[in-house]
């Protein structure tokens, strides 16, 4: 599905909630312990990550083509 | 990216907030501003009042007129604000220690008076800020720094307490049930009278680490698996309830609101003087 995932990394504390609740294993913590997008093409835009991030650091939009 | 509309309710220069990685407080704070938006409360007519504790730090991040008061005293400050200007929407943010230990009397008397406040209790079942001492809402047998063998004190059910004391609206939700939580708060805002919403939150640092749930996601899964919607709860046999708890609206009733009753007294006293 065509989705876009945005990170405000300066807000991310690496709690791993988004990683744990993503049903498609799209997200992972990187070596510095921040959320990173590892399988963007698998994202189904379910919004679980955005809904549950307690730090408002991850956002998911459906892609809009101009 | 389209900026989310709730961001305008935050003091951007104060974020990221101070809470630990995975702390549920951030989720509840967002649910409150989403409820404010849902109810279209004007920002200059909305006041946020908090006590002391991790949870009470929320007022510092919210772009309204805010008051960060003394431990346990958020409800008395809020009562003063509401009485001085009943037009204001007053939202109180408090913790389980703040509300039911040091502020326990203020809490029940706020409910008894039925003053039009919306009180959101962030229940992490522990004193987070001071390092994990047991609160009056620490569940039986759960560990805290002051209860290393598990708590033997029976906990308060703050929802039952608010109901018995006279509140107009009483509800519970959790930091896992984000949309439900927002709805519970939004409904509380629209009720005229004392509204009380208990938001059960994960505190991985002070509570989780002591109770074999150090991972935030693990605590959230626990909330998901142990909270039961009121309707299902009513049908759940006693033996299956054990460590589960109900969420939803427990009480909604109408009773004369305090500032209205007070205005009548003022009117008749002033009328009598002439
Ligand atoms: C009069 C007074 N007594 C004690 C304290 C110390 N103190 C600060 S926060 C706190 C408890 C906080 O627990 P809770 O209300 O549950 O909030 P949390 O930090 O868990 O969100 C205590 C005892 C204080 N600040 N003021
Ligand atoms: S839930 Fe938010 S803060 Fe936690 S790791 Fe994911 S993006 Fe970072
Ligand atoms: S929107 Fe859903 S599928 Fe996409 S990254 Fe977030 S949780 Fe995973
Ligand atoms: S101690 Fe607990 S309640 Fe306080 S910020 Fe950390 S996780 Fe949150």
Q: Which of B16, B176, B216 sits opposite A16 (nearest CB)?
A: B216
DSSP code at position B64: S
- Summarised one tens digit per residue, pLDDT across range B64-77 is 999 999 999 999 99
Give me ligand 4 centre to Cα B269, in Å. 49
Residue B70 confidence (pLDDT) = 98
Query: Are B1 and A61 within 8 A, CB to CB?
Result: yes
In Å, what is the CA distance from B198 to each residue of B88, B115, B120, B139, B171? 22, 18, 6, 15, 6
Q: What is the ipTM of this complex?
A: 0.95
Q: At A22, which CATH number?
A: 3.30.70.20
Under the banding of pLDDT at 50, 70 and 90, the label for residue A64 is confident
Q: Which CATH class is domain B17-273?
A: alpha beta
Give me ligand 4 centre to Cα B248, in Å. 25
Query: Are B30 and A6 within 8 A, CB to CB?
Result: no
Instruction: List residues of chain A with CB under 8 Å from any CB of chain B.
Output: 4, 6, 10-11, 13-17, 19-21, 51-57, 59, 61
Chain B interface mutation, best of A7, A11, A14, A15, highest count of B Cβ atoms under 10 Å: A15
Chain B closest CA to A14's CA: distance in Å? 7
Under the banding of pLDDT at 50, 70 and 90, the label for residue B88 is very high
Which contacts (CB < 8 Å, 24+ apart) does range B3-11 have? B4/A56, B4/A59, B5/B37, B6/B30, B6/B33, B6/B34, B6/B37, B7/A56, B8/B63, B9/B33, B9/B36, B9/B37, B9/B43, B9/B62, B9/B63, B9/B64, B10/A56, B10/B61, B10/B62, B10/B63, B11/B60, B11/B61, B11/B62, B11/B63
| Percent of all residues in chain B with a pLDDT value above 90, rounded to a whole number | 97
Total structural domains within chain A: 1
Domain that holds residue A31: 2-63
Give me ligand 1 centre to Cα B35, in Å. 26
- Summarised one tens digit per residue, pLDDT across range B24-46 is 999 999 999 999 999 999 999 99
Q: B141's torsion region: left (phi>0), alpha (psi -120 to 50) or beta?
A: left
Nearest to A26 by CA among A39, A9, A7, A13: A39
Q: With a cut of 80, say whether residue B225 has pLDDT above it.
A: yes
């Amino acid at each position: 599905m065509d989705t876009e995932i945005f990170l405000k990394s300066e807000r991310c504390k690496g709690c791993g909630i988004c990683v744990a609740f993503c049903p498609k294993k799209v997200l992972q913590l990187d070596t510095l312990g921040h959320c990173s997008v590892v399988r963007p093409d698998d994202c189904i835009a379910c919004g679980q990550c955005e809904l549950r991030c307690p730090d408002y650091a991850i956002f998911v939009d459906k892609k809009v083509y101009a | 990216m389209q900026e989310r509309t709730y961001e305008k309710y935050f003091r951007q220069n104060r974020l990221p907030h101070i809470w630990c990685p995975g702390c549920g407080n951030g989720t509840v704070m967002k649910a409150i501003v989403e409820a404010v938006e849902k109810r279209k409360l004007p920002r200059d007519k909305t006041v946020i009042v908090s006590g002391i504790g991790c949870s009470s730090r929320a007022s510092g991040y919210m772009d309204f007129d805010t008051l960060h008061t003394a431990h346990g005293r958020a409800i008395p400050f809020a009562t003063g604000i509401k009485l001085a200007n009943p037009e204001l929407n007053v939202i109180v943010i408090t913790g389980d220690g703040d509300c039911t230990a040091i502020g326990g009397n203020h809490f029940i008397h706020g409910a008894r008076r039925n003053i039009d406040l919306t009180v959101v209790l962030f229940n992490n079942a522990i004193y987070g800020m001071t390092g994990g001492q047991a609160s009056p809402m620490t569940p039986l047998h759960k560990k805290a720094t002051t209860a290393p063998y598990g708590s033997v004190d029976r906990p308060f059910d703050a929802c039952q307490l608010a109901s018995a004391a006279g509140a107009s609206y009483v509800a519970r939700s959790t930091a896992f049930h984000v949309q439900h939580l927002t709805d519970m708060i939004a409904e509380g805002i629209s009720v005229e009278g004392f509204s009380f919403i208990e938001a059960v939150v994960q505190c991985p640092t002070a509570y989780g680490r002591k109770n074999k749930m150090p991972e935030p996601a693990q605590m959230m899964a626990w909330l998901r698996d142990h909270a039961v919607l009121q309707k299902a709860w009513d049908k759940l046999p006693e033996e299956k309830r054990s460590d589960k708890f109900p969420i939803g609206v427990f009480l909604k009733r109408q009773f004369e609101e305090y500032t209205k009753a007070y205005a009548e007294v003022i009117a008749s006293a002033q009328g009598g003087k002439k």
